Chains A and B, each alone.
Chain A
Amino acid sequence: MVAAAGMVLAFGANLVSPRGLALTRNYFPAGISRPVPVARDVTNTNPPASSPAQLLAVRLKEQGLQSVDGRQAAQLFHDPRFTQGSIAFIDARDEQHYREGHIPGACEFDPYYPEKYFAAVLPVCQAAEKIVVYCNGGDCDDSESAAILLRDVGITNQKLFVYTGGIPEWITNGLPVEIGGRNSGNLRSTNK
């Protein structure tokens, strides 16, 4: 009886909660399974053959998506076409993390609530020739999910690039971040 009442109330609460999950949506279009961690050989100083970045690169290839590294992402950021709108950066993290600091000029696009962002993001993506999607690097695959969602609404694969290092690598490389909303002008230097 407790189980039955609890389940009814639990699903009801999820239904009415503004943060509730949509039960039928696939939140992980790149696949639900997570890669199992591989045992590390402690005598080997080289990075493991299946590091998160390498696994992500393999998955991106399977999805027909392209990846960019930190150097390429910085080049695209400094490219004059970025200010003209031909290159776009898409931040696939949640609102809180976006506001705490994102690549200057990047659009916010949380892939778990895409309907909230499509109206603002789609025109930017349609106008761009290259779209760089990023999240938290490492084993974060939200950028991959965001790229797939954008592809599903008509953005071609050729335009989409996933920045595998994400915002932690961007900051480590000493590149600037923007605090608050898009084009707020509130830039913070991360130079060390």
Chain B
Amino acid sequence: MNASQSSWNRIAADAFAVLARWLLGAVFLYLGLNKALHPVEFLKLVRQYDLVQSSLLLNSIAAALPWFEIFCGLLLLAGVAVRGTAVMLIVMLVPFTVLVFRRALAIQSALAIPFCAVKFDCGCGNGEVFICRKLLENFLFILFSVWLLAGYGRNLCVRHSLMSCAAKTSLTEEGGSNGSI
């Protein structure tokens, strides 16, 4: 009974992790495409964060980030290099969430309005959003990414881990050839 229940729990967790992977992949693909199709608008939004003073760096961020998100989205949807992609998402999402939070604080202070009433286009790819909703959304995405990094969502993957798959394949081949001898 206990074994059957734990087996069901594992199946449910795996199914949910696959859904989370697909959701993250679809969201990043959609947001990346929105930015890649309107690069000038995205460039203007990145500029508002006052991150860099060099036009080369600013242009590079605005030019590469949308396509990088599309790439990560496609990898997650297909289930290729899932853990490496999850690391990339965390690396992008954490600093971006901090930047969005800081900008929202500046807007709140300038307009003297409640924090959750702050609404602006953060350059996320889906237009103007309320800050509290955006922060909650990012928190969930970070949580999903950590979950994928922990090794969940392996089902229905084309190639979950590039490195370990290659290592496993070579080991199997080695074992196979040894066996044949």
Task: Report the minimal beta-carbon distance from B153 to chain A, rounded to whole angstroms.
Answer: 15
Q: Contact check: which of B50, B52, B59, B72 meets A6 at CB < 8 Å?
A: B72
Please determine whether B47 and A32 come into contact, CB atoms closer than 8 angstroms: yes
Instruction: Determine the distance from Cα of A6 to Cα of B163 in the docked complex, in whole angstroms.
Output: 16
Is A11's CB within 8 Å of the partner chain B?
Answer: yes
* A10 with B55: CB separation less than 8 A: no
Picked from B54, B59, B84, the residue with its CB within 8 Å of the CB of A21 is B59
The segment from B4-12, B61-69, B93-101, B125-133 that touches chain A is B61-69
Give CA–CA (A94, B43) in the complex, Å. Answer: 14
Chain A contact residues, majority secondary structure: loop
Contact for A32 among B37, B55, B70, B111, CB less than 8 A: B55
Q: Is A82 engaged at the interface, CB distance under 8 Å to the other chain?
A: no
Judged by a CB distance under 8 angstroms, whether A36 is at the interface is yes
Q: A13-B67, A14-B67, A112-B40 are in contact. Are A39 and B72 (CB under 8 A)?
A: no
Q: With an 8 A cutoff between CB atoms, is A192 at the interface?
A: no
Encode contact with B along A1-41: 1 for CB under 8 Å, 0 otherwise.
11101110111011001011111111110001110111110
Query: Cβ of A23 and Cβ of B71 under 8 Å apart?
Result: no
Is B124 engaged at the interface, CB distance under 8 Å to the other chain? no
User: Does B58 sit at the interface, judged by CB under 8 A?
Assistant: yes
Task: Determine the main DSSP class of B at the interface with A.
Answer: helix
CB within 8 Å for A2 and B84 given contacts A10-B71, A17-B36, A36-B106: yes
Known: A2-B84, A2-B85, A94-B40. A21 touches B63 (CB 8 A): yes
Question: CA separation between A28 and B63, bound complex, in Å?
Answer: 15
With A32-B58, A37-B106 known to touch, is A14 a contact of B112 (CB < 8 Å)? no
Q: Does B164 contact A (CB under 8 A)?
A: no
User: Which residue of chain B has its CB nearest to the CB of A111?
Assistant: B40
Is A119 close to B, CB under 8 A? no
**A37 contacts B68, C-beta separation under 8 Å:** no
Task: Point out which of A9, A20, A21, A37 has the most chain B C-beta atoms below 10 A from its C-beta.
Answer: A21
B68 and A7 contacting across the interface, CB-CB below 8 Å: yes
Tell me the nearest residue of chain A to B53, going by C-beta.
Answer: A32
14 chain-A/chain-B pairs, Cβ below 8 angstroms = A2-B72, A2-B84, A10-B64, A10-B68, A11-B67, A17-B36, A17-B39, A19-B39, A24-B55, A28-B47, A32-B52, A36-B106, A37-B106, A112-B43
CB within 8 Å of A: which residues of B?
Answer: 36-40, 43, 47-48, 50, 52-56, 58-60, 62-68, 70-72, 75, 81, 84-85, 87-88, 106-107, 109-112, 162-163
Given contacts A6-B72, A32-B54, A36-B106, 14 further A-B contacts (CB under 8 A): A1-B84, A2-B85, A2-B88, A10-B64, A13-B67, A20-B63, A21-B63, A22-B59, A23-B56, A32-B55, A32-B58, A40-B111, A112-B40, A112-B43
